[in-house]
Amino acid sequence: MQRSNWDSSMKRTRSQDRILNLLKSGKQAISAQDIYVELRHRNQAVGLATVYRALDALKLEGVVQVRTLANGESLYSSIQEDRHHLTCLQCGRSIPIDECPVHELEEQLQTTHQFKVFYHTLEFFGLCDRCQLAQQ
């Protein structure tokens, strides 16, 4: 499901624009620390605290989503489509799944609760095939 919540009248800081551009150009979600390192490699000096503040503002704007892994690490990406995963608790491998059984529920909740949904995540935790074989 494509999302677009950006309003061209919204003012963003230079750091927010840089971070959003970086996330839009990436193929996968990345951590705040990786965003910080990548911006420094691009000679776009910004502090780590600024990266976190910018990510928080972009989340509230509805253009960035966060996914928290089983180990507690947060990964950020621009909102392009809902993402769903099977995540192995043993090795940490995360397998994207294309099916989404909750789109209808999302629309219903928006209507019944007058709640603007920017995105949703669906994640199942367990053991992947490799880790199951290793346990046998």
What domains lie within the chain, and their CATH numbers? 14-135 (1.10.10.10)
Helix (H) / strand (E) element for 96: namely strand 94-97
Helix (H) / strand (E) element for 17: namely helix 14-25
| Closest by CA position to 118, among listed 73, 66, 54, 69 | 66
pLDDT for the residue numbered 10: 65
Report pTM: 0.69
Strand partners, 49: none
Q: Tell how many helices (H) and how many strands (E) occur in the chain.
A: 5, 5
pLDDT for the residue numbered 6: 45
pLDDT per residue, tens digit, the chain (136 aa), is 444 444 444 689 999 999 999 999 988 889 999 999 999 999 998 999 999 999 999 999 989 999 888 788 999 999 866 678 898 999 988 888 888 888 889 899 999 999 988 888 888 889 999 999 998 8
Structure tokens at 12: 């963003």
| Closest by CA position to 128, among listed 85, 71, 99 | 85
